[in-house]
Amino acid sequence: MQELLEKVIALAEEAGRMMTSENDVTIDTKGTKDNYVTSTDIKIEKFLREKLTSLIPGSLFMGEEGDIPEITDDCQYWIVDPIDGTTNYARGIPASVVSIALAEKDTVVLGVVHNPYTRETFHATIGNGAFLNGKPIHVSSRKKQNALVSLAWSTYDKKKAPLCFSVSQRLYYVCEDLRRIGTAAYEMCLLAKGSSDMLFEIRLSPWDYAAASRIVKEAGGFTSSSVGDLDLKEPCTVIVTNTETNMDFLKTIVVDEIRRYPNLGLKY
């Protein structure tokens, strides 16, 4: 695993250099008017698809910009976001990361998140702790009153925004402050290193959270959807906290608000 990890870190850092050195970036949208994809997303995903699948012959590849393969119980699969924080990237805001996970069945066994702007590389393998640039990291022990909470308001489906605002309002009056950076993978890593303390998004895709979920758990943190474990095959609600007590607190609020918006058809 160590040898594989070193190769994956080197590929994530190479992809980060591609991100920051690209001069001729074209910007397009997919699905909705505010869901961007750039030529660099496509280029990095193609690069990582080729390199990662050749590290483990027979492994499958699930990336944000490509077709989703059929995942079976006996396969190993990569879950990759070539650029998490594409809107930031398209607008010249220096906050985007490369996210690479390796999964088996429903478990992420390896996660690497690289931020080329801050030169931070987070990594974790199952059972071996979490690291930032080679040094061990741990979540904070802050109580909810002192918590910094990462949030978003359902950019691509604004019907769910009122629910997110209600959760935000309830948290704002209890916790210290709220943050929205625009890259869920990096925001989860900030939680893993103890800078922030809770995170909630009503819907994220596996490539947004797979790698960072392993890093958070190895750093001593907690992850959950609104129904149970994070789903690696389907988008789901994502709740992440530093402590179990804060998980109970945040999940109770999220589930309570989901119940208040039955027309959205969300599971809890």
Residue 170 CB partners (closer than 8 Å, separation 6+): 253, 257
CA gap 52, 11 in Å, rounded: 8
What is the DSSP code (8-state) at residue 119? T
Site string for ligand IPD, 186-225 (x = CB under 6 A): ---------------x--x---x-----------------
Q: Which amino acid is at 179?
A: R
Q: Is 201 in the site for Ca ion (CB under 5 A)?
A: no
**Segment 173 to 192, residues that bind ligand IPD, using CB under 6 A:** 182-184
- 152 is a site residue for ligand IPD (CB under 6 A): yes
- Residue that has been written with the tokens 């590849």 in this structure: 61
Report the nearest approach of ligand IPD to the CB of residue 186 (Å). Answer: 8
Minimum CB distance to ligand IPD smaller for 132 or for 204: 204
Does 48 engage in binding with ligand IPD (CB under 6 A)?
no
Q: How far apart are CA 41 and CA 34, in angstroms?
A: 15
Nearest C-alpha neighbor of 211 from the set 139, 136, 146, 114:
114
Taking the complex as a whole, the smallest distance from the CB of residue 38 to ligand IPD amounts, in Å, to: 10
Can you tell me which of 84, 187, 197, 257 binds Ca ion, judged by CB under 5 A? 84
Task: Give yes or no for a contact between 81 and 208, defined as CB atoms under 8 angstroms apart.
Answer: yes
Alpha-carbon gap, residue 172 to 177, rounded angstroms: 6
Restricting to residues 54-113, name those near ligand IPD by CB under 6 A.
64, 81, 84-87
Nearer to ligand IPD, 31 or 262 (CB): 31
Contacting positions for Ca ion (CB under 5 A): 81, 84, 208
